[in-house]
Amino acid sequence: MRRQVGRVAVAVAVVGAVVSGCGGPDQAGSAVIVGSDAVPLGQVQSQLDTALAKTDQIAQITAQGGTTADLARSIVTREVLHDLLQRRAAAEGIVVTDAQIDAELAGSGGTDAVVDGSLYDATTLRQRVRDDLTAAQLAQRSVGGLAVTVDLVGATSRADATAKAQTLAAGGPAADALFNDPRMSERGTSVQAASNPNEASSVLFGVPKGSVVAFQPNPQESTWIVFRVTDRRTDAPSDPATVSNMSQSQLTAIGERLLQPDAERVGVRVNPRYGVWDPIQLRVVAEDQQAGIVLQPGFTAPAAAPATAG
């Protein structure tokens, strides 16, 4: 369970006051709507109040430059993932028992010890552990056969990456021309999830065949990557040992990434006071912190505005 606490710390390491404001999703009083499921503002505020009452942990987060606004966004993110995990668990018959949660907590010194070291109360903590175990089971069922093949193009800015993504998605000679420079492009790169657990938890494995993605791997650098998924397999052969050697935290992250198509299908509408849903990072972020764009299969570039006489 120490790994669980570590993941909690990472999730809120970037946590000021929550941005005030009104409006947002159609259902009044909701922090986020996943499909037709609304998470009430009061539910998020209650969890935020619990976290803020743990002054020692909050002091550490603040010392690292974290803000309350980002903490609130992390709470909303977890509610989105919780909803999506419940849907997938019901669809695939994944069950996590109370005994499994008890065992996970006992391995870290018991519920009281873990609650004292986290930002959660006991009820929320158990939900988070259940979610992590559910995500890990989901990954165990799928990761062994997952493989993608992509065409890659480098870019030097968000504008450059967006333009190249739209060109690549549109196809044709202009898209082919993006690969003329082998120093900035590569075609037919295959990646197997079981052998690359870190990549398996990234957007690379979260979009369907035909999608085009532009993203910035490291915000501290100017490099952007644009890729098109040319093939996505769920039955690729792999060594079973590679899956069994994965840590639970890796499996949990992969399982969460597998929810990305579900989020796209049902829709995630975030109250603007918290930000927006970013499919690249698979979390709620401030509107100006989106890491890139995802163009779904069938994307058509917007037509140029007609010239006006004058």
Distance of alpha carbon 264 from alpha carbon 281, whole angstroms: 14
Residue written as token pair 């966004």: 73
Q: What is the pLDDT of residue 184?
A: 94
Q: What is the pLDDT along the chain (310 residues), one digit of tens a residue?
A: 444 433 333 333 333 333 333 444 456 699 999 999 999 999 999 999 999 999 999 999 999 999 999 999 999 999 999 999 999 999 999 999 999 999 999 999 999 999 999 999 999 999 999 999 999 999 999 999 999 999 999 999 999 999 999 999 999 999 999 999 999 999 999 999 999 999 999 999 999 999 999 999 888 888 999 999 999 999 999 888 988 899 999 999 999 999 999 999 999 999 999 999 999 999 999 999 999 999 988 777 665 545 454 4
pLDDT of residue 78: 98
- Structure confidence at residue 18 (pLDDT): 36
Q: Is the four-CA dihedral 184, 280, 297, 85 of positive or negative sign?
A: positive
pLDDT at 301: 64
Q: Decide if 203 contacts 213 (C-beta within 8 A).
A: yes
Return the closest-CA partner of residue 261 out of 183, 179, 201, 205.
205
pLDDT of 93 reads: 97
b/e 49-76 (16+ beta carbons within 10 angstroms → b): ebbeebeebbeebeeeebbbbbbbbbbb
